[in-house]
Structure 1
Amino acid sequence: MTKEKWVVDASHSSVEFSVKHMMIAKVKGTFHNFEASIDADPADLTSADIEFSVDASSIDTRNGDRDAHLKSADFFDVEQYPNINFKSTNIVKKDDDEYEITGDVTLHGVTRSETFTATFEGQGKDPWGNDKVGFSAEGKVNRSDYGLTYNAALETGGVLIGDQIKISITIEAGKQA
C-alpha cells in the first residue's frame, strides 16, 4: 500500500495529560481543540509524515481558575504561544503494531526532540463505507525543558506541581477523499 492522507475525526479522538500534584496525587486534563495532518500507509507507519497541533487555550482540567492560570504567562502564555506543535522526524517499528515516533515538539517557544510510543489500533470501514484507522500514543515530557517552571514549595517538602507531564493521545482518522 502507498501513503494516503488521513483526517482526524476529533469527535472520536482525544489529547489528555496528567501531572503530579502536591507529590501525592495526579491532576488530569484534556485539550478540546487539535488537528493533525497524517500521510501514512497504515500497514507500515515507518514512512509516515505526522504533524499535530493543539490549541493550548482549549485546556480543560475541570477547574476554571486552574485553567485560567495554565493559560497565563506563568505557564502556556497562550497569547504569545497559542499552539503546541509536533512534527515527526523518525519512526521505528518495534513490533507488529507498535512504533516509536520521534519528532520535534514546540511548546512555549521552545522546540525539542521527544519520543512517543504509538500503537496502530486497526483499520476498518464505518457504516457508510468510509475507511477509518485508529492510533494511540503515550509519552512523557518535562515541562521545565520548555521553560514552564512555575511552582510553589510545600511546607512538608517537595513541590506543588510535578515536572513530568504524561501525555495520552487517541486518534480515529478517516481517509481523505
Structure 2
Amino acid sequence: MNVLQKLTLVIVVVFASLNASAQTSKVVSGTTDFSVKFIMGTCHGTFDGPRGSAVFDEKQVGASSFDLKINASSFKTNSSTRDKDMKSDKYFYVEKYPDIHFKSSKVEKKDSKYLATGTLTMRDVSKTVSLPFEAKKNADGGYTLTSTFDINRLDYKIGRKDWKLKDIVTVDLKANIK
C-alpha cells in the first residue's frame, strides 16, 4: 500500500468515526408538562411527548442539533371545558397550527449543562429562544434530555392579557433519544 492509499484510508476512517458518533437519533419517548398560575392557583397540564430528530454527542456538542415537534392538540388538564377552549382560535388554534416546533441553530455547553438556541414556533409566531437542558447518557447508548424553561404565552398569541391568568408558563420537557 503506497502513502497516498494509506492517507486516503486514514481520512475515510476518521470521517466514518466522526459520522458514527454524531448520528441522527430519533426521539423514542418523552413527556411535556407545563404549569401556569391563575386566579384559583396553578394549572398543571401536559402535551404528548416531543417527536422528531436529534443529533447529540457530549464530545462534539457544537455538531449537535434538534428538530422537535409537539402536537398542540394533545393539550390536557383536569378540565375538558378548559382543554377545548385552549385548543380554539383564542389560544393554540390547533385546527390551523397543529404543532409547536423547535429547530435549533446552535448547541453549546454552559458549565455542567447545555444550551440549545433556535427558533420556537407556536401558532403563526416564530421567535429565537435559548433553552437550557441536561443530558444523561443511558446504558443503551441513547440519551435522556431534560429541560425546564419559561415562556411568555402572549409573545406567541396564546390568549390575551387577562388578570385571571398569568403570562408566564413553565415548561418541563423530557426526550429520550436513541
What TM-score, normalized by structure 1, do the two folds share? 0.83
| Root-mean-square deviation over aligned CA pairs | 1.6
Aligned to 2:43: 27
CA distance in structure 1 between the aligned counterparts of 2:152 and 2:135, rounded to whole angstroms: 25
Instruction: For residues 68-108 of structure 1, give each alpha carbon's deviation from its aligned partner in whole angstroms, at most 9, with x where no partner exists.
Output: 00000110011111111000012221124x11111100101
Q: Does 1:104 find its partner at 2:108? A: no
CA distance in structure 2 between the aligned counterparts of 1:43 and 1:166, rounded to whole angstroms: 30
CA distance in structure 1 between the aligned counterparts of 2:60 and 2:37, rounded to whole angstroms: 35
CA distance in structure 2 between the aligned counterparts of 1:59 and 1:149, rounded to whole angstroms: 15
CA-CA distance at 1:123 after TM superposition: 2.8
Instruction: For residues 13-67 of structure 1, give each alpha carbon's deviation from its aligned partner in whole angstroms, at most 9, with x where no partner exists.
Output: 1011111111x62111111253121022243433211011011001111211111
Task: Give the gaps of 5 or more residues in structure 2.
Answer: 1-17
- Counterparts of 1:103-142 in structure 2, within 5 Å, are 103-125=118-140, 131-142=141-152
What TM-score, normalized by structure 2, do the two folds share? 0.82
Q: Number of residue pairs matched?
A: 159
CA distance in structure 2 between the aligned counterparts of 1:121 and 1:44, rounded to whole angstroms: 15
Q: Does 1:89 find its partner at 2:89? A: no
CA-CA distance at 1:111 after TM superposition: 0.3
Which of the numbers 24, 36, 61 marks the counterpart of 2:52?
A: 36
Choose 1 or 2 for highest CA Rg.
2
**Aligned CA distance change for structure 1 residues 92 and 4 (closer, same or farther; 3 Å):** same
CA distance in structure 2 between the aligned counterparts of 1:113 and 1:5, rounded to whole angstroms: 23
Q: Would you tell me which structure has more helix in proportion to its own residues?
A: 2
Equivalent pairs: percent with the same residue?
A: 25
CA distance in structure 1 between the aligned counterparts of 2:114 and 2:60, rounded to whole angstroms: 10
Q: Would you tell me which structure has more strand in proportion to its own residues?
A: 1
